[in-house]
A and B are shown apart, each in its own frame.
Chain A
Amino acid sequence: MATPSTTPSALPSLSAADDVAKLTAPSAVTETGTAPPAAEADADAYERTHVHGVYEAIAPHFSATRYKPWPAVAAFLHAQPPGAVGLDVGCGNGKYLGVNRDVFMVGSDRSPSLIAHARTRTKQLQTQVVAAGGAGRDGGGVAVGTDVLVADGLVLPFRERAADFAICVAVIHHMSTRTRRQDAIRQLLRCVKTGEAGRTGGRGQVLVYVWALEQGTSRRGWEEGGEQDLLVPWVLKSRQKQQKQQRGTKNQGGGAPEEPGAAPSHPDPVFQRYYHLYRKGELEEDVLAAGGAVVASGYERDNWWVVAANEPVHQGEQ
């Protein structure tokens, strides 16, 4: 296994790496490197390089490969009542916006490039009338209730306790310390309703989805007891590289990393994304540490998921 570097300018040369998070097909065996968890004070800068900078650079490529909703996420969205207000924190290209056309959803992401893709997509949904029965379990119609904005998952701009539900899919595993991962869940919980009497809607629910360490059936070879903090390569194929250069990507979050692929010796640029692979039970522990309650939890296709809520407000409490 290659020893990874934490500086993108000195990346090891990787060959057969591919999009390991690909949903539709089993992924190729990838060369991944272990990544020591960052010190709390350096975590922000570390994620800027190994998460935000990467997504900014690979946005067009990433967006083109991400369009299929996870079944459990789609089911969660369809279970929301008409008129419910929901958030998609780390919405990427917005593939979950418009899944349920009778709710109002606001998607946020740290990457301005991905949000630009999401906006184009939601604008299309808005004018695209889907015939009844043609859009799955909902009755068709147009997706009028979606909007997107740029925000950091740890510094959310949403009115507190106002949303009926929130989803956060494949996001929290990119945060490089446990404190930050728990804080991210805490921020999500602050956005949803507490279920007080006299308020519209019940207790708000938060669906969190993260990559699992235990991927016994996957060819990635990750299993119980293995290293949990990894750098996973993303190879930007030359076609996408061209698009990217035309767009001239820029990270508004404060300094894009140098692009390792810019050197002529690397025809296909390789970007290293940081992942924390969750072990069994860890996600539930993080929900409790964030002050939340676990409503339901489970495993789906190499991922752990949890539905969390705020602790019930008891009568007589202030």
Chain B
Amino acid sequence: MKVLTLNFLTCAVKTCKSSSDSFPLHPKDAELASDDVEVNPQLLVNLLPRIDWNALRTTSTELGFPQLPEQPPTAEELGADEKVLKDLHSLLIETQIMEGKLVCGHCGHEYAIREGIANFLLPSHLV
């Protein structure tokens, strides 16, 4: 699962949806891999305003990557600085969580990730 995807996920438990603690989910025992993917600058530039930057900073730190700046780069900065673009591409698109868990900060439920696929099916008592 991509780091980018994690930015659009929350706990599946209905009573967690209204809690700010259910987003972002927290990776635990994460085993990472990196895919080699061609950069799509247009996609990245347009994607950036749709990303919850604070949540991405949290995720990035929890996965052991260097702290991201407080503010997201602007479209101009992305266009002018290839390194900023590449770093963002590498974090969002290329980095994969292959094994591990995603933990909800509100209810504590742990969702398993196996072979790169997160499973959000809930046991019946949580539905």
Chain B binds chain A: yes
Contact with B along A142-178 (1 / 0, CB 8 A): 1011011111100111111011100000000000000
The total of interchain contacts (Cβ-Cβ below 8 angstroms) comes to 123
Nearest CB of B to A103, in Å: 7
For the complex, what is the distance from the CA of A101 to the CA of B46, rounded to whole Å?
13
The CA of A108 and the CA of B120, in the complex, are separated in Å by 9
A244 on the interface (CB 8 Å rule)?
no
**How many B residues face the partner with a CB closer than 8 A?**
41
Does A141 belong to the interface (CB within 8 Å)?
yes
CA distance A157 to B40 in the complex (A): 27
CB <8 Å contact, A102 and B120? no
Are A157's CB and B11's CB within 8 A?
A: yes
Judge whether A147 and B1 touch: CB under 8 Å: yes
CA distance A101 to B1 in the complex (A): 18
B108 → chain A, closest Cβ, in Å? 15
- B33-44 interface code vs A (CB 8 A; 1 in, 0 out): 001111110111
Q: Determine whether A257 belongs to the interface, using a CB cutoff of 8 Å to chain B.
A: no
Task: Enumerate chain A residues within 8 angstroms of B50, measured Cβ to Cβ.
Answer: 83-85, 162, 164, 200-201
Give complex CA distance A284, B39 in Å: 40
Number of residues from A at the complex interface, CB < 8 A: 45
Interface residues of A in 102-149 (CB under 8 A from B): 102-104, 106, 108, 110, 112, 115-116, 119, 123, 126-127, 129, 141-142, 144-145, 147-149
**Which among A102, A129, A145 has the highest number of chain B CB atoms within 10 Å?**
A145
Q: What mask results when residues 96 to 124 of chain B are scored 1 for a CB within 8 Å of chain A, else 0?
A: 00000000000000010001111111101
A82 to B50, CA, bound (A): 12
Q: Inside 8 A of A129's CB, which chain B residues have their CB?
A: 38
Q: Is the CB of A159 within 8 A of B9?
A: yes
Whether A101 contacts B40 in the complex (CB less than 8 A), given A81-B46, A85-B8, A164-B50, comes out as yes
| Of listed A82, A108, A160, A254, residue having the most chain B CB within 10 A | A82
CB distance from A48 to the nearest CB of B (A): 10
Select the residue from B10, B48, B49, B120 with max chain A CB neighbours within 10 A: B120
Q: List 30 A-B contacts (CB under 8 A).
A: A44-B124, A82-B43, A82-B46, A83-B46, A83-B47, A83-B48, A103-B43, A104-B43, A108-B120, A112-B119, A127-B37, A144-B37, A144-B40, A144-B93, A145-B40, A145-B93, A147-B2, A148-B117, A149-B1, A150-B117, A152-B120, A155-B14, A157-B12, A157-B120, A159-B52, A162-B8, A162-B50, A200-B50, A252-B119, A252-B121
Beyond the given pairs A112-B117, A150-B117, A158-B9, 20 more chain A to chain B contacts, judged by CB atoms under 8 angstroms and listed by A's residue number, are: A101-B40, A102-B40, A104-B43, A119-B115, A123-B35, A127-B36, A142-B38, A142-B40, A144-B93, A145-B4, A145-B47, A151-B121, A155-B14, A157-B10, A157-B12, A157-B120, A159-B10, A159-B23, A160-B10, A200-B50
Q: Interface residues, chain A, CB within 8 Å of chain B?
A: 44, 81-85, 101-104, 106, 108, 110, 112, 115-116, 119, 123, 126-127, 129, 141-142, 144-145, 147-152, 155-160, 162-164, 200-201, 252-254
